[in-house]
Amino acid sequence: MSEQVSTVIKGATLIDGTGKEPTRDSTVVVDGRRIVQVATEKTDIPQNSNIIDGSGLCIMPGLVDAHLHLSGMITDNFVQEMVIVPERQKLVRAVGQAASLLDAGYTMVRDCGGLNALAIRDAIAEGSAKGPRIVAAGYVLTQTFGHGDFYHFLPAEIADSRISGKGAALICDGVEECLKGARTALREGADFIKITSSGGVFSERDKPEDLQFTPPEIKAIVEAAKNVRKFVATHCLSAEGARISIECGVKTIEHSAGLDKEAMEMGLKHETVFVPTMSVSKRVKDYGTSMGFPKWAVEKSGGRFDKETERIHELYKIGATIASGTDFIGTNLMKMGTNASELEILVKYCGFRPIDAIVSATRNGAKACGLEGKAGTIEEGMMADILLVAGDPLNDISILQDHSRIRMVMKEGKIEVDRGIRMSKRAS
């Protein structure tokens, strides 16, 4: 049996994802899938090691997008794509979109609804496809006339009363149906349960502030998830919906756009993870009409961005846990691989320090995925998800959007992207 070869990354400036100030001339040792040593001063290099010269570069954790959808859509007329394009065709597209995420430095993503992600997750895990680690919800649980009941625009007799959006959502009304829906999603392989507790922007007839699901329904879903050591995330644009969801034990509040002070403080007390998705709001606001979004979606989205940035800034100021997400679906307006635009928005519009924006897309992203303490930081014992970046993202966060600057992407100890890193070998 051949001896395990360690990988040593030496000389880079360390941004470890915890929020600590950067450290120059670091040494990070990877053995197998995990980080086994992090040194910030001279240290012995293990024999029989591959040594990567990180001088002049920054070393940081792989990025996490805590809210997206590997939908396989490619045009922004999402209504037409949803109804007309076959699901098998969108699945093939989505495999390529997953590869684009890894190429951009995303080593983990959380897919918040859609069956594609379950299949792609498993294909990546077995080595049949290339992409980030995927944490997937599969079916979204929604009520009749809920945000996930995608066919508001179709007559009721055409929409299936059980499964909506060509397999994207399960419609559940009442506690018993909610239990059944949660267990069905788990049976399909869900890593967590996604629900909708308010109306939305991309569902035609409901309003973002509308309440969806009752407290008993949400509690039943949370209990079903906890019984198998999983958690619940909720789409929520309503302050009251957020308060109800937090009280019922939901772990993550998606979009976090309609919060009030009471909901924010409740979330802080319950250690809730808030996942704003600012990029999609800004892009639809700026370009939605010209890119072919339905008029009603653009109108519902318009004017929300400034209010959303104020709320996220307030969340940030009180010290709430915020994880970076985009809600991207793969279209021209929301193309996979451009996800790091979210970090620039957090800095430019929401008052984040760059180092805290990075925490939102590393340590806090891992927490939103249910992998806190296992991934998301460069510390001993953590999964070896590592980037080498040319330039200083703490000085200019936008460089993380430049793929040429992402010189190396390592996922679980394996170099997946190499853009000219310098490597040598120390013999035993």
- CA dist 102 and 70 (Å) reads 13
pLDDT class of 159 with cuts at 50, 70, 90: low
pLDDT class of 207 with cuts at 50, 70, 90: confident
- Higher-confidence residue of 84 and 120: namely 120
Q: Quick one: which of 97, 102, 83, 107 has its CA closest to 33?
A: 107
* DSSP H/E element including 236: strand 232-236
CB 196 within 8 A of CB 116: no
- Higher-confidence residue of 149 and 299: namely 299
The CATH number that domain 63-368 falls under is: 3.20.20.140
- CA dist 326 and 422 (Å) reads 33
**In this predicted structure, which of 5-9, 196-200, 311-315 has the lowest mean pLDDT?**
196-200
CB 109 within 8 A of CB 68: yes
Q: Where do the domains of the chain lie?
A: 6-61+377-426, 63-368
pLDDT, tens digit (0-9, with 9 covering 90-100), for 341-378 = 999 999 999 999 999 999 999 999 999 999 999 999 99
pLDDT score at 60 = 98
The conformation of residue 272, written as its DSSP 8-state character, comes to P
Residue pointed to by tokens 């699945």: 91
CA atoms within 13 A on the CB side of 134: 34
Helices first, then strands: H and E counts in the chain: 13, 21
Residues 6+ apart with CB under 8 A from 357: 324, 343, 346, 347, 397
pLDDT score at 189 = 97
pLDDT class of 1 with cuts at 50, 70, 90: very low
pLDDT class of 221 with cuts at 50, 70, 90: very high
Indicate the SS3 state at residue 51.
Answer: strand
pLDDT score at 154 = 58
The domain defined by 6-61+377-426 carries CATH number 2.60.120.380: no
Residue 316, both tokens = 């940030």
Indicate the SS3 state at residue 67.
Answer: strand
pTM: 0.94
Q: Is pLDDT at 326 greater than 80 in this prediction?
A: yes
- CA dist 200 and 146 (Å) reads 9
Region 175-183: what's the mean pLDDT?
95
If you write DSSP's letter for every residue of 156-203 in order, what string do you get? TTTS-SSEETTTTEEE--SHHHHHHHHHHHHHTT-SSEEEE-B--SSS
Q: Is pLDDT at 388 greater than 60 in this prediction?
A: yes
pLDDT class of 292 with cuts at 50, 70, 90: confident
Count the helix, strand and coil residues of the chain and give each as a percent rounded to the nearest 5. Answer: 35, 25, 40
Return the amino acid letter for 142.
T
CB 238 within 8 A of CB 212: no
